[in-house]
Amino acid sequence: MAIHNEAKEGEIAKVVLMPGDPLRAKYIAENFLENYQLVNQARNMFAYTGIYKGKEITVMASGMGMPSMGIYAYELYQFYGVDSIIRIGSCGSYVEELNLLDIVLVQESYTKGNFAEHMSGEKCDIVESSALINSKIEETAKEQQIKCVKTNVACTECFDAYMINPKEYVEKLPKEKQITCSEMEAFALFYTAKMLDKKAACLLTVVDSNCKKEVLTAKQREKSLNDMIKLALETTLKI
């Protein structure tokens, strides 16, 4: 029985898109889904189930950080029979090669945190996304002519902009992992999927950069996020 989700049995689709922000979940439902219904509003973590091009899809917020993602992903997988979750969020770039508004497809997520040890007792600091879903995302990106960069990310426990010394943190990341950006939820999603024998992927839009002092307008953010949302939704038709 789910503790943090009031949706009834059968109200959650087998494939779920997970933005961090509950209002972004609402935006996706209102602008991309047909015949959608609000199926969870416990703790204002909105979940909507509707139809996208004939396929049932649920869009549910995860909140911010690994603990929040871990809770909601676990309950979706374990209590609602969800098979696949695609996180759709934002990230900060650590490298010159990534520009603001670029869309990133996560291959591996690295963390200095203890999520895996807390969950299973395993000392694990890196976990892969689903190769199957990633292949479908790449295939869809080519079809939709949406540029998508596959890379590895750091999953942090503190928002980069609030770190006392973010440069020092970046310099301590393992160079062999070729980490190019950071976010705060992917590791928990991927590891939870691994533990429950489920599938998970993550698409991110670059909204800030440690290398480039640029500021996005609200309109620019919306357009880029819409491209990422479209890519995720079109991919759901293949999984």
Per-residue pLDDT of the chain (239 residues; tens, 9 = 90+): 789 999 999 999 999 999 999 999 999 999 999 999 999 999 999 999 999 999 999 999 999 999 999 999 999 999 999 999 999 999 999 999 999 999 999 999 999 999 999 999 999 999 999 999 999 999 999 999 999 999 999 999 999 889 999 889 999 999 999 999 999 999 999 999 999 999 999 999 999 888 877 767 767 766 668 999 999 999 999 99
Domains of the chain: 15-236 (3.40.50.1580)
pTM, to two decimals? 0.96
Helix, strand, coil percentages, rounded to 5, for the chain: 40, 30, 35
* Helix runs in 123-217, H state only: 131-144, 166-171, 186-195
CA distance 144 to 103: 13
CA distance 189 to 158: 17
Q: Is 81 left (phi over 0), alpha (psi -120 to 50) or beta?
A: left
Structure tokens at 30: 């209102």
Catalytic residues: 208
